[in-house]
Every structure is written in C-alpha cells, then in structure tokens.
Amino acid sequence: MRFQYRILNILLSTTILLGLSACGPSPDPSSKAGNGASQSVASTPRSRMPSDSALKSLYIQSCYGCHSSGAAGAPRSGNIADWAPRLQKGMDVLLHNTIHGINSMPPKGMCIACSDEEFTQLILFLSGQRE
Ligand code: HEC
C-alpha cells in the first residue's frame, strides 16, 4: 500500500515538473524589431556584389550565404553600422578571425582555397571599403 503511494507521488511530481517546464519564456517578437533599420547603404546587402569578377565568385561561393542576410548575427555586407565596431579591431585581427573563425563564423568562412590577399579584399568589400 505504502509503496504504491510513493509511486503515485513520484508520478505526480514528474507531471507537475513537466507542466512547469512547458511554461518557459516564449520568444519575444519585439526583439527583432528594428532589424535592418540601421541599413545605411543604397543597395541592399543581398544585391551588393564585388566589382571584380574573380572576387565576386569567391564571395558568392563562401561569404554571401551569411553576410548578405546577416544570418547567425553576421555583420551585413556594406552595412556601416554593422561593421564600425569590427573595423575598430584593425585589419590584422579581422583577417586572423576570418582565417581561424570566431563564434558562429566558421574558419576561412568556408573558402578553403582563399589566399590571405583574397580574404583581405573580401573583408574590405564586406565592410564597405571597396566595391
Ligand atoms: C556560416 C556563416 C558565415 C560564412 C559562410 C562567413 N561568415 Fe563571416 N561571420 C559570420 C558570423 C556569424 C560573424 C559574426 C561572428 C561574431 O562576432 O560573433 C562573422 C563575422 C565576420 C567578420 C568579423 C570578425 C570580427 O572579428 O569581428 C569578418 C571579417 C568576416 N566574418 C569575414 C568573412 C569572409 C571574408 C567570409 C567569406 C570568405 C565569411 N566571413 C563567411 C558568419 C559567416
């Protein structure tokens, strides 16, 4: 009799715990508001492309997937507000972080064949310092 009571008790508390965890905080839709409002270039990051055709194909194959849309918090192509705090680190640090990766940014930005010079040009393009 006693044993059965204990089982019932455990079952009950598990149900309560499960019920509580289902009531966790829901995502706040307002946190996304204003996204894109800081857009400070005329062309959108999606349509912006390097003028050099070789650089353009490297860009499309690698950086574009994340940096055109700002996926996973990537600073958007040509967006001055997104890039200002990054540029303060200096080009050496940006190149190092591109090659070795930083947080959700994968090492080499998925361009295994890119040279240091090509990375430098891609960073200059992304940060709006060259077309
Ligand atoms: C899979 C998505 C993804 C791809 C592909 C990608 N990036 Fe990134 N990148 C990110 C994210 C996310 C960040 C922001 C990382 C952070 O600071 O948390 C970032 C940040 C950066 C930064 C700023 C680093 C710093 O120190 O602030 C540079 C420079 C950069 N990326 C260059 C590139 C280049 C060049 C390419 C293409 C060769 C590329 N990325 C491809 C996702 C990506």
Ligand 1, closest atom to CA 73?
A: 12
Ligand 1, closest atom to CA 108?
A: 38
Rounded CA gap, 121 and 3, in Å?
A: 72
Phi-psi sector, 106: left (phi>0), alpha (psi -120 to 50), beta: beta
Evaluate if residue 2 carries a pLDDT over 90.
no
Q: What are the tens digits of pLDDT across the range 82-130?
A: 999 999 999 999 999 999 999 999 999 999 999 999 999 999 999 999 9
| Distance between Cα 131 and ligand 1 center (Å) | 18
